[in-house]
Every structure is written in C-alpha cells, then in structure tokens.
Amino acid sequence: MISSKKARLLFVSIIVVALVALAVTGCGGPSAVPAESTAPTATVSPVAASISVSAERNGAGLQISGSTNAADGTKVACEVQQTQGAWITGDRMMIVKNGRFHDALKKAPSGELQVWVALMEPSSGGKRVEATATVQ
C-alpha cells in the first residue's frame, strides 16, 4: 500500500508534468500549430542615398550648402581644395537637418576652388556617396 505522503507527492508530480506538457504544446488547441500569417506584407526597397552640393563666394568667404535624402542627424564630411593646389580645409563635418546641410568659410583664397562632400554614416548603405562643386 502507498502511504498518503507518497500518494500526494505522486499526484503533485503528475499535475506538474501535465501542466508542463500543456504549456509546451500550447494547451492542445487549434493555436498549438502555428498558422501561416495572413497579415498583409510590404516589401521595402532600399532607397539609394544621394547628395548634392553647391558653393558660392560671399565676399572673402565661401558658402557651402547642399541637400541629401539621408536622415536628419547624418554627418556629411566636407573638404575644400584649390583646383590645382593644396587643401584649404581638413575634414569639416556638417549635420543633415530637414534634408539640407550648410557650412561657411570666413576666408577662402581667390582662384578656382573645389568643394567635396560625402555621407559619413551607414545611411549610404556602406558605399561612399559623394558630390563635388567648383567655384571661381
């Protein structure tokens, strides 16, 4: 004969095993087998990053502005170089806001200058996206 203590332990063990089995199988109802999703799906194609830049003289200085489809907060690197000479600036950083970015140099040498910009974040899809502008 089984003692009442052993009987209770056996009963509790059977209940625990049954509860675990129900939890694992999803309670045995129709939702236990995952159904195929009937929710509409959308395919999102990646948008190619783009950037454009323009530059114009402002007295002795230089105004640089441009646009991009990169997200707000994206960093845009900028360098200015004399067309047949030295770099005038090192890397300058601009931040995209509302699809636009801008910078200004207080003093820029005379002669033809080339402005180079590039997206510096993953928004470019791992590819360097750049643009140049030339100003007289």
In Å, what is the CA distance from 72 to each residue of 2, 31, 69, 80, 134?
74, 43, 9, 23, 26
104 domain-assigned: yes
pTM of whole model > 0.85?
no
Report the pLDDT value the prediction gives residue 20, as an integer from 0 to 100.
Answer: 47
120 domain-assigned: yes
Distance (Å, whole) CA 133 – CA 65 = 10
Q: Does residue 121 sit in the same domain as residue 59?
A: yes
Q: Does residue 97 sit in the same domain as residue 129?
A: yes
Q: Does residue 67 sit in the same domain as residue 131?
A: yes
pLDDT in tens, 66-97: 999 988 998 898 889 887 777 777 778 999 99
Q: Does residue 12 sit in the same domain as residue 76?
A: no
Q: Does residue 29 sit in the same domain as residue 57?
A: no
- Looking at the predicted structure, is the pLDDT value of residue 37 above 50? no
Q: Does residue 18 sit in the same domain as residue 75?
A: no
The residue type found at 16 is V
Confidence of residue 53 (pLDDT cuts 50, 70, 90): very high
Domain count of the fold of the chain: 2
Range of the domain at 24: 1-34
Report the pLDDT value the prediction gives residue 103, as an integer from 0 to 100.
Answer: 92
Distance (Å, whole) CA 20 – CA 43 = 39
